[in-house]
Amino acid sequence: MTDALTRLLTIAPPPSEPRRKDWGAVERTLGVRLPADYKELVHVYGGSNWDDYLYVLEPGCPNENYDLIAWAENQAEDLEGLWEFEKKPAELEPDGAHVVPWATTDNGECLYWLVRPGLEPDEWTVMVNEARGDRWEHFSVSCTRFLASCLDGELRSAILASSFPRAAHEFRRLGGV
């Protein structure tokens, strides 16, 4: 278990039933391997809502609005169209660099893994894109560390809502048990 997941366990007790996934099938569908910390996060918490604001996407999420695979397909298409009108963030300029979504917010911000050639999934870092805007932030941490660090106040995003995180944390699993 990662240190970041251990921190999350102190912030919000997990549901009693873990979510099981066929990660091989998920990764074949996406065309990329996923970070181990994300798989562990989904196993423990599933697709989830944090502080009534941030939604962690899950492949095959019981709430289809937060299905990782659908989001990945849609975001890839949307971003390709966007680059025709907006400048790509510097982190995405190198050949082969791209992003894969792993979370979203009530306001429509999207949180991505920054995928770069030559980096293993466990080395991917986090990028945040504002809703309906061209601002991006880059954080040199894993997705689980990003979530835990936001929730405990160690890390702050200028793009995410100023009301996040809440003083008293709320967690809920998306759909099902």
CATH number at residue 79: 3.40.1580
The pLDDT value given to residue 81: 75
Mean pLDDT of the residues in the chain: 93
Which of 4-13, 80-89, 139-148, 163-172 is predicted with the least confidence, judged by mean pLDDT?
A: 80-89
Residue 176, pLDDT above cutoff 80: no
Residue pair 34/64 in contact (Cβ under 8 Å)? The answer is no
Find out whether 90 and 99 touch, Cβ atoms under 8 Å.
no
Q: What is the mean pLDDT of residues 42-62?
A: 96
Residue numbers of the domain that contains 137: 3-173
Per-residue pLDDT tens over the stretch 126-138:
999 998 888 999 9
d(CA 18, CA 82) in angstroms, rounded, equals 37
Q: How many domains does the chain have?
A: 1
